[in-house]
């Protein structure tokens, strides 16, 4: 990294403006095709001079507000409370973080607990630029802020990715070579992490292979079905930075055309190449047409819907000076940065509902197997055995889970009394540690197909329409208060969003009975509730105004 003793205000403002414009332009281009796991064909001509709203930038403006409110000595607790006050977003890891906070947890546990599927999403790497901006020239310091930020709602490789990007974002103020910037980013990453291996491999592939081969290798080696997963998407960003060869439009398009979390990949790649080139080095057709105003989303409670790019850049410079002084940074940021902070109205904090997270106790009932009678008989044209009364070879080799056999009567409102009548070796009571049904604690055999049941109870003080979310790796049936509400015979990847049920729950006690099947897959189940509010469950927070009741 080039050792500048000082960064002039002109250089800082040109770099930071290029970074923010690249961030906004990339995110604006990628947002309409976000989530499509296919190859796209964008060209630099598709870039439009629009600074649209995006969660990639919303939270970074919130962190700038946190500096205004609390000064340079930020903590995870401060950031979490600012988030809860101003950004009530329910999606994926964001919603899990909010549920954890309302359940009494503080960072970093808000990013760990119950966050087994989305913990390595793109939600925190996309907010790295603010830490690079306010830690200009100090990549290690930027990485420390990024780690504090990332652990609010993530853990593992996503936090490493935010550190990586924040270090690069900080270094672009004093270093313009792509490979050296990637070295700087890689230096702050845990070398034992999978993310470190991704960076190493993606750099090699992007240098030695063509675009299509590099994309294929990233997906084949590090791909994940969840479109926001950090490994594939950071691989695409690295691909864009290397194969873009210093060209603004080519860099963004090489990243966005990989698909998946396209607004995030285009925005992060755009921010870095924008910072490298500076605003003065951006394509003339974009530079001359980019407005001085950017947009904020309606999710930003208490914030205005629009902000000034000039004010944003000067605010970053102001806080970069203060942080450099506070942390004795080796580089001096010259000049004065005057600005008017965004007018932000205070908002009430959500109510905490518990001191610690509450989870269900489940009665795990089973396992149940039956002979595979569908293939009992031998072939008649070519008999399986020398003795005609023996069963088929297939029958001899396996049983079946018997999913079409109901071993318990769910329609009869199975309840605690029913549970007490079962043989002692059939039912186990297990306390869940998160929203997954505690199948991992079972001592059932793994060598034979079987069906099993999971039973629990919950109560509400007031009637509520909710979404029930279920995850399962195989077939399942779900009864609520004796009514069959879901039946599926499919096999799928285990996620927390395999199925949803639109359910009206009256005030009082409710009984939940789930039947699932295990063949060669391991037993995995998930059950959670989300608010309804006449919207898709993805747009709503987790429903928490109920009480798990004891079973057994």
d(CA 65, CA 301): 12
Token digits of residue 394: 């297939």
Instruction: Write out pLDDT tens, residues 162-195.
Output: 999 999 999 999 999 999 999 999 999 999 999 9
CATH architecture of structural domain 361-549: Sandwich (2.60)
Tokens 């853990």 map to which residue? 155
Of 474, 454, 498, 494, nearest to 400 by C-alpha is 474
Domain borders along the chain are 17-333, 361-549
Of 258, 397, 103, 461, which is closest to residue 268 (Cα–Cα)? 258
Neighbouring-strand partners of residue 468:
501, 529
- DSSP E strands: which ranges in 344-482? 361-368, 370-371, 399-400, 427-431, 436-437, 450-460, 464-472, 476-480
Quick one: tokens of 234? 């950071």
pTM reported for the whole predicted model: 0.96
Going by C-alpha positions, the residue among 502, 434, 508 that lies closest to residue 99 is 434
> Which sign does the torsion angle of CA 140, 145, 146, 147 carry?
positive
Paired tokens of 455: 């039973």
Residue-by-residue pLDDT tens, the chain, 552 positions: 445 568 999 999 999 999 999 999 999 999 999 999 999 999 999 999 989 888 889 999 999 999 999 999 999 999 999 999 999 999 999 999 999 999 999 999 999 999 999 999 999 999 999 999 999 999 999 999 999 999 999 999 999 999 999 999 999 999 999 999 999 999 999 999 999 999 999 999 999 999 999 999 999 999 999 999 999 999 999 999 999 999 999 999 999 999 999 999 999 999 999 999 999 999 999 999 999 999 999 999 999 999 999 999 999 999 999 999 999 998 889 999 999 999 999 999 999 988 899 999 999 999 998 888 888 999 999 999 999 999 999 999 888 887 888 888 877 778 889 898 998 889 999 999 999 999 988 888 777 789 999 999 999 999 999 999 999 999 999 999 999 999 999 999 999 999 999 999 999 999 999 999 988 888 899 999 999 999 999 999 999 999 999 998
Peptide bond into 45 cis (omega under 30): no
Q: In 373-461, which ranges are continuous DSSP H helix?
A: 393-397, 416-420
**Which CATH topology does 17-333 take?**
ADP-ribosylglycohydrolase fold (1.10.4080)
Contact assessment for residue 422 and residue 365, using Cβ atoms and an 8 Å cutoff: yes
The tens digit of pLDDT for each residue in 96-129 reads 999 999 999 999 999 999 999 999 999 999 999 9
Q: Residue 8: helix, strand or coil by DSSP?
A: coil
Cα 123–chain centre separation? 5
Residues contacting residue 14 through CB under 8 Å, at least 6 positions apart = 278, 279, 280
Amino acid 444: pLDDT: 83
């Amino acid at each position: 990294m080039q050792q500048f003793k000082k960064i002039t205000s002109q250089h800082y403002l040109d770099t930071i403006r290029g970074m923010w414009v690249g961030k906004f332009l990339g995110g604006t281009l990628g947002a309409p095709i976000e989530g499509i796991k296919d190859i796209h064909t964008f060209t630099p001509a598709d870039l439009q001079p629009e600074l649209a709203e995006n969660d990639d930038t919303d939270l970074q403006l919130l962190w700038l507000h946190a500096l205004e409110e609390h000064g340079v000595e930020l903590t995870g607790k401060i950031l979490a409370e600012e988030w809860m006050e101003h950004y009530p977003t329910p999606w994926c890891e964001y919603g899990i973080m909010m549920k954890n906070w309302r359940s009494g947890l503080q960072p970093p546990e808000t990013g760990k607990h119950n966050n087994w599927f989305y913990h390595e999403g793109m939600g925190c790497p996309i907010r790295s630029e603010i830490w690079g901006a306010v830690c200009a020239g100090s990549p290690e310091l930027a990485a420390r802020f990024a780690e504090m930020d990332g652990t609010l709602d993530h853990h593992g490789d996503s936090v490493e990715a935010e550190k990586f990007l924040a270090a690069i974002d900080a270094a672009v103020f004093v270093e313009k070579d792509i490979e050296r910037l990637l070295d700087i980013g890689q230096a702050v990453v845990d070398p034992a992490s999978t993310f470190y291996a991704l960076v190493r491999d993606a750099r090699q592939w992007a240098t030695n292979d063509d675009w299509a081969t590099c994309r294929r290798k990233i997906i084949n080696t590090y791909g994940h079905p969840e479109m926001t997963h950090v490994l594939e998407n950071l691989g695409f960003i690295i691909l864009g930075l290397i194969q873009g060869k210093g060209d603004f439009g080519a860099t963004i398009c090489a990243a966005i055309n990989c698909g998946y979390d396209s607004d995030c990949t285009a925005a992060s790649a755009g921010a870095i190449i924008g910072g490298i080139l500076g605003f003065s080095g951006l394509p003339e057709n974009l530079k001359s047409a980019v407005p001085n105003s950017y947009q904020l989303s309606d999710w930003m409670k208490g914030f205005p819907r629009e902000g000034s790019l000039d004010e944003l850049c000067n605010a970053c410079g102001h806080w970069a000076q203060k942080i450099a002084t506070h942390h004795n940074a080796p580089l001096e940021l010259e000049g004065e940065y005057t600005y008017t902070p965004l007018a932000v109205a205070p908002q009430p904090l959500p109510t905490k509902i518990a001191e610690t997270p509450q989870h269900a106790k489940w009665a795990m009932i089973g396992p149940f197997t039956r002979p595979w009678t569908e293939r009992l008989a031998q072939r008649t044209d070519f008999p399986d055995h020398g003795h005609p009364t023996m069963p088929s070879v297939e029958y001899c080799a396996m049983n079946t889970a018997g999913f079409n056999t109901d071993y318990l009567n769910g329609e009869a409102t199975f309840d605690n009394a029913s549970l007490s009548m079962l043989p002692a070796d059939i039912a186990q009571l297990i306390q869940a540690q998160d929203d997954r049904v505690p199948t991992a604690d079972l001592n059932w055999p793994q060598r034979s197909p079987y069906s099993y049941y999971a039973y629990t109870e919950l109560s509400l003080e007031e009637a509520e329409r909710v979404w029930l979310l279920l995850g399962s790796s195989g077939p399942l049936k779900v009864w609520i208060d004796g009514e069959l509400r879901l039946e599926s015979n499919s096999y799928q990847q285990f996620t927390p969003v395999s199925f949803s049920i639109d359910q009206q729950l009256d005030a009082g006690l409710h009984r939940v009975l789930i039947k699932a099947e295990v063949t060669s897959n391991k037993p995995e189940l998930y059950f959670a509730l989300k608010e309804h509010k006449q919207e898709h469950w993805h747009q709503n927070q987790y429903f928490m105004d109920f009480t798990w009741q004891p079973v057994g």
